[in-house]
Amino acid sequence: MTGIYLFHTISKWSLQIVSALQMRERLKLLHVEQRNKLIRILRIKTAFLHKFLLFFLELIFPIVCYGCACPGKILCSSCLRVIQKISRKGRCLHCFQYLEIGGLSCCAKCNSTCSRYVLVFYLSSNVVLSLYEKAEQGKKEAILFFCKSIQQEFVWEEIHPRKIFYIAGEIVKDIVIELGKRIGIPVQRMRLSKQGVSCLQKEKKPICIISTHCPPRSWLDMIEYYAKSKVWIISLFLNPDLE
């Protein structure tokens, strides 16, 4: 009888232990569900608070156009219409000067076998200069505007450089760095000096040089002299003497 009693007692304790463990697991699951529910509620509240703060801040500090400073969008439709790229029609491929009457693609000062190609994007209007000033201040939207413009030109003109150089002090560095990230090629700083330009002779593959304004012809000739392969020279704004 003692053995049977002991067996029943042990069985009873085992059932109690199993029941306690099951209850503990249920409580754990309950805590996890409660925690997850609380996290979801907090996320909803945080998202709502974020939207409310953005709405409130936009009421106090409205978004203004970088070009004309009118409230609304970062770049309004009126300013977008003003910003137009300069047509390459009637201009030399190698220096961007106007062609003489009867000239096809090369002016009298450039050789048709030149390995350099010059592209200029915009006239120096108040709108585009204001936008560039915002890029100098580090405004992401303005940086992306110029970066995307250059990237689109690469596609349209079938430009495939293996490295991008930017002239120090002549272009917002962030524009070129962002461009390099987008198209996946290295970016290097270059000074517009004889020593700086001479570094181009190490490059055996096509390159691109980006600046704010187009370098003078003497520098274009020096760039071509040192560059051992095709080079595209891209400038954002047209020099007054070329307008």
- Phi and psi, residue 126, nearest 5°: -60, -35
- Is the separation of the CB atoms in 210 and 167 below 8 Å? yes
Same domain, yes or no: 56 and 145: no
Q: How many C-beta atoms lie closer than 10 Å to residue 98's C-beta?
A: 10
Q: What is the pLDDT of residues 104-140, one digit of tens each?
A: 778 888 877 788 999 999 888 888 888 899 898 888 8
> Final residue of a domain: which of 44, 61, 78?
61
Same domain, yes or no: 96 and 214: yes
Query: Does 198 fall in a domain?
Result: yes
Same domain, yes or no: 111 and 210: yes
CATH code of the domain containing 104: 3.40.50
Q: Which residues contact 58 (CB under 8 A, 6 or more apart)?
A: none
Q: What is the pLDDT of residues 185-199, one digit of tens each?
A: 999 999 888 898 999
Percent of the chain with pLDDT over 90: 22
Whether residue 231 has pLDDT greater than 70: yes
What mean pLDDT is reported for the chain?
Answer: 79
Q: Is 149 helix (H, G, I), strand (E, B) or coil?
A: helix
Query: Does 77 fall in a domain?
Result: no
Query: Does 184 fall in a domain?
Result: yes
> Final residue of a domain: which of 46, 61, 76?
61
Query: Does 15 fall in a domain?
Result: yes
Query: Does 80 fall in a domain?
Result: no
Whether residue 234 has pLDDT greater than 80: yes
Mean pLDDT over 57-62 rounds to: 60
d(C-alpha 172, C-alpha 143), whole Å: 8
Same domain, yes or no: 199 and 132: yes
Whether residue 148 has pLDDT greater than 60: yes
Q: What is the pLDDT of residues 12-52, one digit of tens each?
A: 555 555 565 555 666 555 555 665 665 566 666 676 666 66
Which residues constitute the domain of residue 11?
Answer: 1-61
Same domain, yes or no: 39 and 156: no
Same domain, yes or no: 40 and 99: no
DSSP, res 231: E
pLDDT of residue 235: 92
Same domain, yes or no: 230 and 121: yes
Query: Does 1 fall in a domain?
Result: yes
Percent of the chain with pLDDT over 70: 72
Q: pLDDT band at 75, cuts 50/70/90?
A: confident
Same domain, yes or no: 51 and 94: no
- Is the separation of the CB atoms in 110 and 116 below 8 Å? no
Query: Does 81 fall in a domain?
Result: no
Query: Does 201 fall in a domain?
Result: yes
Regarding pTM above 0.85, the answer is no
Q: pLDDT band at 7, cuts 50/70/90?
A: very low
Instruction: Kindly report which listed range (7-16, 33-42, 149-158) carries the lowest average pLDDT score.
Output: 7-16
- Which pairs from 32-37 meet CB under 8 Å and 24+ separation? none
Same domain, yes or no: 12 and 98: no
Same domain, yes or no: 40 and 92: no
**DSSP states along 167-227:** ETTTS-HHHHHHHHHHHT--EEEE-SSHHHHHGGGG--S-EEEEEEEPPPHHHHHHHHHH-
Domain count of the fold of the chain: 2
> Final residue of a domain: which of 61, 76, 98?
61
Q: Which two tokens stand for residue 215?
A: 């370098």
Whether residue 56 has pLDDT greater than 60: no
Whether residue 90 has pLDDT greater than 80: yes
